[in-house]
């Protein structure tokens, strides 16, 4: 990935500007001309100094199929979040407190920082797991009910379904 190429910088800037602008539109929830113009100008101004800290995402590998996978990921994620809450509720309510906690580690095959962040966030919100640290490509996960100490099995158990979709997106 050419980090210094001007094309990359421009798409990065446009991406930042677009995202800020969309957030502005959603917050004002109106399409009145003056609001839209003000929003465009303000988000343009903010995007100039902040875009290089904000993201490394380039738009060059973006396709409709990516959008489909993002939606698929959202559904997997929401389902996992619901299951996680029911799981925690079950553990909390049951009088014996059935937990067997521990911190396990596994290596991921994702390369970009953004993808790793998404994976770590998803892991935190899925049943019984909480990401404690990422060092290079090793994830350290606190697991409320440890089922295995083998890194590969942990990876399948914790990150399997997310990683598959994320590898298609990035």
Partner 1 sequence: MNELLTYAGMVLMLIGGIFLFLGGLGIFRMPDTYNRLQAGTKATTLGGMSVILSIGLLEPSWFVKTLVLVIFIALSNPISSHALARANYKRGNRPYLKGGSEYDQYKEVYDPQEKPDKEEEKA
Contact footprint for partner 1 (CB under 8 A): 23, 26-27, 29, 81-82, 84-85, 88-89, 91-93, 97, 99-105, 120-122, 124-125, 128-133, 135, 140, 142, 144, 146, 149
Distance in Å, CB of 89 to partner 1, minimum? 5
> Looking at beta carbons only, is 5 or 30 nearer to partner 1?
30
- Residue nearer to partner 1 on the CB measure, 17 or 139: 139
CB of 145 to partner 1, least distance (A): 10
Q: What residues contact 70, with CB distance under 8 A and at least 6 apart?
A: 169
Q: 87 CB contacts (<8 Å, ≥6 apart)?
A: 127, 128
Residue 4 has what DSSP assignment?
Answer: S
Min separation Cβ 138 and partner 1, Å:
9
Give whole-number Cα distances, 57 to 52, 114, 131, 133, 170, in Å: 10, 8, 23, 23, 10
């Amino acid at each position: 990935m050419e980090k210094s190429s001007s094309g990359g910088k421009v798409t990065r800037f446009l991406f930042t500007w677009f995202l800020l602008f969309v957030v502005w539109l959603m917050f004002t929830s109106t399409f009145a001309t003056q609001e839209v113009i003000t929003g465009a100008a303000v988000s343009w101004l903010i995007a100039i100094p902040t875009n290089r800290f904000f993201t490394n995402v380039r738009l060059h590998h973006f396709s409709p199929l990516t959008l489909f996978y993002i939606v698929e990921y959202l559904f997997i994620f929401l389902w996992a979040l619901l299951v996680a809450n029911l799981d925690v509720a079950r553990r909390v309510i049951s009088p014996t407190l059935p937990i067997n906690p521990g911190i396990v580690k596994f290596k991921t095959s994702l390369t970009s920082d953004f993808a790793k962040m998404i994976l770590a966030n998803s892991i935190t919100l899925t049943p019984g797991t909480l990401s404690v640290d990422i060092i290079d490509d090793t994830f350290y996960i606190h697991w409320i009910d440890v089922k295995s100490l083998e890194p590969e099995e942990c990876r399948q158990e914790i990150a399997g379904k997310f990683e598959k979709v994320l590898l298609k997106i990035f």
